[in-house]
Copies of this chain bind each other. A is one copy, B any other.
Amino acid sequence: MSRKIVVVGAVALGPKVACRVKRTEPDAEVILIDREKFISYGGCGIPYYVSGDVSDSSDLMKTSFHMVRDEYFFTNCKDVKVMTGTEVVDIDRKNKKVKIVADGSREDWLSYDKLVLGTGCRVRNIGISGLDLKNVYGVGKLQDAIDIKAVITAGEVSKAVVVGAGFIGLEMAEALADMWGIETSVIEIADQVMPGFVGKEMARLAMKEMEDNDVSFYLGERVISLEGDGSVKKVVTDKRELEADLVIMAPGVVPNSELAKKAGLAIGPFDAILVNDRLETSDPDIYSGGDCVAIKNLVSGQWGYFPLGSMANRQGRVIGSNITGSNKQFKGAVGSFVVKIFDGCLCGAGLNLDNALKAGFDAVSVQMCQLDRAHFYPDKDLMYLELVVERGSRKVLGIQGYGANGDATVARINAVAAILDKGATVDDISNLEIAYSPPFASAMDVINALGNVADNLLNEQFRPIGSKEFEEYWEKIKKGEAALIDCRAERDARPYVEKYPDFWKSIPQDELRRRINEVPKNKKVVLVCNTGVRSYEAQLNLNELGYEQNVSVQGGVAFLKKYGVDL
């Protein structure tokens, strides 16, 4: 007799499970249930639909071969039964059946042999008043996207406020400012964008790129209420009021775990459904995956929450395989991410320095920048990278990056991510085998150089400071409490020497040894060059000559400028 597989939730994980089950066990009866009208859409594409990059909302529901993934598609291409507008409100685990409510009223029970919960997540409710005003939207469902775009194209929006500077917040802000020229502000309760994902320096690079593209940021501010008169008119924070005729709520998401909870399934951290490596819940007849489950962070060993369409897709295949007799494992994730920031890209994997310290690691990080391909090749961009490592074990805990060539930048992150769960050390990064040819990489690729810099730091050959720390030194330098030496060629240093004749001192690294008497011995010396290569060399020269009171600015003037230090 054919088995009956009931799948709750039909956006990302659910359809993948359903199709995989049918491919492996064609005679299984598979039922895909969703309370919404639209199913199987690329929710991550919503900002690109709002921006206009994706012209039609149905494109987000299409396969790569341009078929809309609707009921016809699932019935005829996949032999999967679809029930939309249908909510699963209860699970009778003992009798293996679920209670459904169709179109808000018609109740029924459906039996199952295996049940899959792909209930996803929803926008976090931050408990402020005014969320029910017109033109206040979350970005969770395809209908939200359609509604937002309709409001914009109707010309109702000249000022927008985005609450939250995580992925969705930044993507939506770019969509609004870039394609529609809407005056866009982002309010973030943390003191940086992408909190929890990148360190302050990388966050600043991304934010500055957005500011340069006319997005305003208000960091460290708490939204108190949304106000208006039917429609939203302003956003009130603990520090100011901002006019707004559109508000996008992107303060993060929380898992939809209520159904599981009600059924007595084990719930883990983040209020998410607990699953094992086979993606079984505490009931072996019920599987779960996607945005409603917690999975292991393979770097920290602790529980993690990674609500990403890619996780849902890959987990869906694992569940579909396991339902039909395989023994596939999904061991967790290292937390790779990427977000497009106008012409740049911010990305990472593993832990950032803050997270690593919080997780109990004796962690330290290095930052650097280098060209993404051979420096003599005509097309090239600087790539900014940060590597988080553990002292002692020399293990790599995470990497974050920012670059103008998104594909090339995220490429380095992906290569490191592949070995983050395999105990990779700094030496593995120094030696990571990046395919080399001048149009695609450097002979000593930026990622290998990053490993080398970390190696130098751990060997105490290198005493770096970052852009943030430089800002503190910069004040001391201006007061004469610390000295600065520019190690570049005289012509590169000249504009700064002319601007700051009293304290911007030029000694090219190649002249340092014979001009050593010009280096002050009684104060800290800050060494700077273009990207940090020559200032490191200069640091070694000074150390050799007994001038150990020095620090080298990692990433050099290139990083300082990108970071926005007022030089």
Contacts and interface: CB of A to CB of B under 8 A. Distances in A.
Interface string A509-520: 111010000000
Interface in A411-452: 411-419, 422, 427, 430-441, 443-445, 448, 452
A431 B330 contact: yes
Nearest to A413: B435
Contact of A418 (B313, B433, B439): B433
Contact of A48 (B330, B370, B376): B376
Interface in A322-347: 328-330, 333-334, 336-340, 345, 347
Contact of A443 (B12, B433, B461, B513): B12
Contact of A489 (B67, B329, B436): B67
Contacts of A408: 407, 411
Contacts of A48: 376-377, 438-439
Q: Which of A60, A79, A415 has the most CB of B within 10 A?
A: A415
A42 interface: yes
Contact of A314 (B333, B444, B533): B444
A483 interface: no
Contacts of A541: 26
A127 interface: no
Contact of A337 (B24, B310, B435): B435
A435 B452 contact: no
A499 B422 CA distance: 54
- Copies of this polypeptide in the complex: 2
A530 interface: yes
Interface in A122-156: none
Q: Which of A349, A375, A445 has the most CB of B within 10 A?
A: A375
A317 B414 CA distance: 24
Q: Which of A45, A376, A413 has the most CB of B within 10 A?
A: A376
B439 A340 contact: yes
B317 A430 contact: yes
A221 interface: no
Contact of A444 (B313, B345, B405, B489): B313
A408 to B, nearest CB: 4
Contacts of A313: 443-444, 448
Nearest to A77: B510
A64 B436 contact: no
B314 A430 contact: yes
Nearest to A414: B415
Nearest to A27: B544
A44 interface: yes
A14 interface: no
Contacts of A259: none
A355 interface: no
Contact of A45 (B45, B65, B318, B438): B438
A45 B12 contact: no
A460 to B, nearest CB: 12
Contacts of A405: 407
Contacts of A45: 374, 376-377, 438
A471 interface: no
Contacts of A63: 375, 533
A312 B349 contact: no
A537 B64 contact: no
A54 interface: yes
Contact of A317 (B42, B65, B452): B452
A308 interface: yes
Contacts of A509: 77
Q: Which of A44, A435, A537 has the most CB of B within 10 A?
A: A435
Contacts of A439: 48, 340, 345, 406
Contact of A448 (B53, B314, B433, B489): B314
B489 A310 contact: no
Contacts of A42: 374, 376, 438, 443
A410 interface: yes
A385 to B, nearest CB: 14
B411 A414 contact: yes
B338 A437 contact: yes
Contact of A410 (B62, B171, B411): B411
Nearest to A436: B310
A366 to B, nearest CB: 16
A445 B310 contact: yes
Contact of A60 (B62, B77, B376, B427): B376
Interface string A1-35: 00000000000100010000001101100000000
A484 B78 CA distance: 22
16 contacts: A26-B541, A26-B543, A27-B544, A44-B436, A44-B437, A48-B376, A53-B378, A63-B375, A65-B530, A310-B434, A339-B437, A340-B439, A407-B408, A410-B435, A418-B419, A418-B432
Given A26-B543, A78-B537, A410-B441, 16 more contacts: A54-B378, A65-B529, A76-B510, A79-B513, A310-B433, A312-B443, A317-B430, A333-B433, A334-B433, A338-B441, A340-B440, A407-B411, A410-B435, A414-B433, A415-B415, A417-B433
Report, nearest first, the 3 A-B pairs whose CB atoms are least far apart.
Answer: A411-B411, A310-B436, A407-B407
